[in-house]
Amino acid sequence: MKNIYSVFFIILISSGIASAQNASDSVLRSKRGFLILPEANEWALGISADPFFRYLGNVFNNTNNNLGPNVNYTSNSVGSVFGGGGNNIAVFGKKMIDAHTAYRARFNVTSGTTINKATIAQDQIAPDPSSPAFVDDWQKVGRTTVVLSAGMEKRRGKSRVQGIYGAELVVGFTSGKTTYQYGNPFSTDFNAPATTNFAGSNNALTPGSRVTENKSGASFLVGARGFVGVEYFIAPKISIGGEFGYMLGFQTTGKSYLTTESWNGATNSTQKIKTDSYNNNGLSSIGIGLDNLNGSINLLFYF
């Protein structure tokens, strides 16, 4: 938050200096004569460091501080992360229609997997204390989140400081799944085999049952977002800016399923049961609110 305030403080001071230096110019130019502000038919490309994407992640999963997949290694974790961890950095693009109007788009794609391993004693009818045997249990946690936005932006101002405002359409998708593999199988001798209880995944189950898959219902979000902010040109065709947004959004979430396995004494075999894990039968919600109380910082290059 302090960093954002510092940026806007610098912008305000610099804008006064820039305005004084260029008050007599109808077209803003650098000392070398280069145009500073964007023109019609120019493109812009950059990045947006935006808590807006953290906000959408929280909406999707009803959690706080969510940035996508949780990529944290513990002492018993092995393997690798595919696609990297969650982030709130988006690719930002614009197409100038004229000097005061632009089409804009942003997107953020996060996909990651965490693999955890736990080593436990192997189930044996007559274990040898002098030569213990071990097996591995595995937990694989994966999540994918995609957020896209597209809209129109208007701007005002003739100095390096440009006021911006406009609206955009936002769509998002997220899905996640956790799977488990166990080293000790069910059998006639071991109806309740030794099993790792990863993060309490089996706490709510009846004795002798264990989770093999926990699949979150896919969530879809669509919303209309208004925004207002400031863009300051630190050099010809290079700007840094910030904005705040207010969004009305609708979200729908599909069913979440839990698959468990246990021993069936009647058939002397392992049985698997798939259930609606939260008995939600799908959810939907609608809401409106300020989406990024901390603001956002955008760095753009025009060409």
Q: What average pLDDT does the structure give for the chain? A: 80
Model confidence at 128, in pLDDT bands (50, 70, 90)? very high
For the stretch 99-124, what's the b/e string if a residue is b when 16 or more beta carbons lie within 10 angstroms of its beta carbon? Answer: ebebebbbbbebbbbbbbbbebeebe
Find tokens 């709130």 and name the residue: 88
Percentage above 70 pLDDT, the chain: 75
pLDDT of residue 54: 53
Three-class SS state of 5: helix
Residue 45 has pLDDT above 60, yes or no: yes
Tally of domains within the chain:
1
Question: By the 8 A CB rule, do 172 and 60 touch?
Answer: yes
First vs last C-alpha separation in the chain: 31
HSE of 21 in the Cβ direction (CA atoms, 13 Å)? Answer: 12
pLDDT of residue 70: 32
Q: What is the mean pLDDT of residues 186-197?
A: 95
| CA separation for the pair 128, 130 (Å, rounded) | 5
pLDDT of residue 2: 44
Q: What is the pTM of this model?
A: 0.71
pLDDT tens per residue across span 46-90 = 998 765 555 554 544 444 444 333 333 232 333 322 233 345 788
pLDDT of residue 285: 77
pLDDT of residue 63: 45
The four Cα atoms 28, 30, 32, 34 give a dihedral, to 10 degrees, of -60
Q: Amino acid identity, residue 166?
A: G
For the stretch 52-89, what's the b/e string if a residue is b when 16 or more beta carbons lie within 10 angstroms of its beta carbon? Answer: bbbbbbebbbeeeebbbbebeeeeeeeeeeebeebebe
Q: What is the mean pLDDT of residues 137-153?
A: 94
Q: What is the mean pLDDT of residues 225-250?
A: 92
Residue 7 has pLDDT above 60, yes or no: no
pLDDT of residue 53: 52
pLDDT of residue 97: 97
Three-class SS state of 14: helix
**CA Rg value for the chain:** 27
Question: By the 8 A CB rule, do 159 and 19 touch?
Answer: yes
pLDDT tens per residue across span 102-118 = 999 998 888 889 999 99
196 closest CA partner among 185, 208, 210, 186:
210
| CA separation for the pair 62, 59 (Å, rounded) | 5
Residue 273 has pLDDT above 80, yes or no: yes
Residue 169 has pLDDT above 60, yes or no: yes
Model confidence at 291, in pLDDT bands (50, 70, 90)? low
**Which carries the bigger pLDDT value, residue 295 or residue 82?**
295
Range of the domain at 275: 2-302
